[in-house]
A and B are shown apart, each in its own frame.
Chain A
Amino acid sequence: MIMRLLSLRQMRFRVSGFVPATRSALNRSGIIFLGLNYVLLLFIAIISSIPLLWMLSTSLKQDGKEFLYPPQWIPDPFAWGNYVVLWSESKIQYFALNSFIVVILATIGTLLSASLVAFGFARIEFFGKRVLFILLLSTMMLPSIVTLVPTFILFKWLGWIDTLLPLIVPSWFGGGAFFVFLMRQFMLQLPRELDEAAIVDGASYPRIYWDIIMPLMGPALAAVAIFSFVNHWNEFLHPLVFLTSDKWRTLALALRGYVVEHAGGDYGDGRWNQLMAASTVMLVPVLVVFFSAQKYFIRGISLSGLTGR
């Protein structure tokens, strides 16, 4: 059943797209249709962008100008100094550093361990493989909340609470079923003859993995790296539970602290421009990663299809 549920994931993603209907020439109604089409697309794009634009806009407003009526889209004047204030008054750079540590170490762990596991499932025949793979897939349907309390106790017992380890170490153990699945799908597409030739030449499995398969995994590794980066960067519940002091706070957690600080209590009090500046700072690395490799990102999801919320 699970295999069937996931069978759609094996669909190929054709970048070309389909042609709705063959229109021989652009006649008058064709042009109107095309125009309406773009208007509609632009409309959805604007709606989609409103939160991001508003975030950027408010982050550049002067103190006390965040709640003007009617809403002011273009700050007057631009208060670039908000970002200077953010840098000097909050400890956002330290929190960002914590987030980077988590994201980089967790992503390396994910890439290594998920590709190892995927290699096992994709390229080696071994006893019980099918059952184990179904087990792996079914962990995707496991609500992660059920393990939160016991893993907290486990980490407490290991003395890892209020360190970054609980946010990093689990990624070194397979990195999540979704990433393993994604990489396995990719490996299945690589010709078998590569392994067979290598085995004839006397290569061991680790050598096939590292010298033959991994160099061909570029797009899959890129997709997983981006996913992992964005997921760990945005993660909120786990840092909230596993980190207790200021020292190791990640950016997502710090931002929640700013919410309390700047927007605590009723609306209107506090400096929302600072809050939005911090939000923008948090968004920038994600945007950089997303734009630098969006091709892989969307391809990666369409190949595999699971993200957090």
Chain B
Amino acid sequence: MQSTEARQLKPPSSRIVPRQWRRHAWGFAFISPWLLGFVVFAAFPMVYSAFLSLTSYDLLSPPRFVGLSNFDRMINDRIFYISLANTAYYTFTAVPAQIVVALLMAVAVNQKLKGINVFRTAFYLPTVTPAVASIVVFMQLYHPEVGIFNTVLGGFGAPKIAWLADPKWVKPALIIMSLWHVGAQMVIFLAGLQGVPETLIEAASIDGASAIRRFWHVTVPLITPVIFFNLVLGIISSFQIFNAAFIATNGGPVQSTLFYVLWLYRHAFENFRMGYAATLGWVLMGIVLVFTLLNLLMAKRWVYYEGAIR
């Protein structure tokens, strides 16, 4: 009698273990869609791509092992450097510009005003516009003779610019166009700005800090994590610019919008050089990774994390 009671009070360890096992198994069962997807659509492609980069493969005959000759070809390929320079120019101009514009827009809508939600929506709207549709409109807005841009600039006496046809202006044109799609960054900044404690702003205000100083010395340091976040993801996505160059300019004029991904696309899906394209893909990933790591390393110097012991 006594022994059965004791058994009931103290659950035998042999019954806990299977239960825990079941929990672990359920955990894996629930995440299995992603895990499977990760293996099939991320891990396997990356490994396979690494293999392809050592081959010559045109999709018709089986991949032929060529060692490192794809890399060799790449470092001797003039267009590799052109596309890389174009992409770097675009990324390192567009991303800071996008961050500044998105932050200013976020500050503008971070106010308690009547109807502010209407403005938030209006500022965000261009971002949900399909990229293709947006590019199509900008092709017309950039028209050298009758486009809105030149009409407005002409009002200030500026000479006519052949935005998409002039190698000097086409990258600025695409960068300006990208500023219409900063809604996501804006909303992230908005969330960041709303996390800034009012008490700090008020304290600075009582100490006699002007609005600009309050912004620069109180608000900006507190939202550095958000700036950092937008910077990292902005660089990753800008390195992969494709749509605008493919649809509006097709890499031209004179290769000035031949961006890296467009060039990769042409190799892979127009000339079916899968091996070379895989090499280019891996190299791009390496470049993006280096910049992401650099960003993470430099973050220690300027990004402020509340509660972080540094």
Contacts and interface: CB of A to CB of B under 8 A. Distances in A.
Interface in A66-94: 66-71
B99 interface: no
Contacts of B134: 51
B87 to A, nearest CB: 11
Which 9 residue pairs of A and B lie closest in terms of their CB atoms, listed nearest first?
A: A173-B37, A126-B27, A120-B30, A174-B34, A150-B45, A302-B191, A279-B133, A120-B31, A147-B45
7 contacts: A49-B122, A67-B143, A68-B146, A116-B33, A150-B48, A209-B30, A237-B242
A18 B112 contact: yes
B281 A45 contact: no
B148 A126 contact: no
Given A44-B105, A145-B261, A308-B237, A51 B137 contact: yes
Contact of B110 (A18, A69, A303): A18
Contact of B146 (A67, A205, A255): A67
**Chain A contact residues: over half helix, strand or loop, or mixed?**
helix
Contact of B240 (A127, A144, A303): A144
A256 B132 contact: yes
Contacts of B166: none
Interface in A271-309: 272, 275-276, 279-280, 282-283, 286-287, 290-291, 294, 298, 301-303, 305-309
Given A125-B27, A126-B28, A241-B269, A236 B132 contact: yes
Given A121-B31, A209-B30, A287-B128, A309 B140 contact: no
Interface string A149-192: 11111101000000000000010111001001000000000000
A143 B243 CA distance: 15
B184 A282 contact: no
Contacts of A275: 136
Interface stretch (B9-17, B74-82, B193-201): B193-201
A143 B236 contact: yes
A290 B140 contact: no
Contacts of B274: 149, 153
Nearest to A67: B146
Contacts of A13: 191, 194
Given A259-B136, A290-B125, A38 B33 contact: no
Nearest to A153: B274
B65 interface: no
Contact of B141 (A54, A140, A252): A54
Contacts of B30: 116-117, 119-120, 124, 205, 209
A308 B184 CA distance: 9
In the complex, which range does the number of interface residues on chain B fall in? 35 or more
Contacts of B285: 142-143, 145-146
A131 to B, nearest CB: 12
Contacts of A116: 30-31, 33
**Chain B contact residues: over half helix, strand or loop, or mixed?**
helix
Given A48-B125, A117-B31, A145-B284, A11 B195 contact: yes
Contact of B42 (A147, A234, A272, A282): A147
A38 B237 CA distance: 33
Contacts of B108: 40-41, 44
B123 A48 contact: yes
B190 interface: yes
A150 B130 contact: no
A200 interface: no
Interface in B226-248: 226, 228-229, 232-233, 236-237, 239-243, 246-247
Interface of B: 23-24, 26-31, 33-38, 40-42, 44-46, 48-49, 52, 59, 105, 108-113, 116, 118-134, 136-141, 143-148, 151, 178, 180-181, 184, 187-188, 190-196, 198, 201-202, 205, 225-226, 228-229, 232-233, 236-237, 239-243, 246-247, 261, 264-265, 268-269, 274, 277-278, 281-282, 284-285, 288, 292, 296, 299, 305, 308
Given A66-B140, A71-B146, A145 B240 contact: yes
B129 A298 contact: no
In the complex, which range does the number of interface residues on chain A fall in? 35 or more
A170 B37 contact: yes
B195 A302 contact: no
A174 B129 contact: no
B206 to A, nearest CB: 10
Contacts of A205: 26, 29-30
Contacts of A117: 30-31, 33-34
A62 interface: no
A1 interface: yes
A280 B136 CA distance: 11
Given A52-B129, A151-B45, A174 B37 contact: yes
B34 A113 contact: yes
Q: Which of B184, B191, B232, B237 has the most chain A CB atoms inside 10 A of its CB?
A: B191
Contact of B187 (A37, A252, A263, A302): A302
A6 B233 CA distance: 11
Contacts of B131: 234, 236, 252, 309
Nearest to A124: B27
Contact of A174 (B33, B49, B192): B33
B94 to A, nearest CB: 11
Contact of A170 (B29, B41, B239): B41
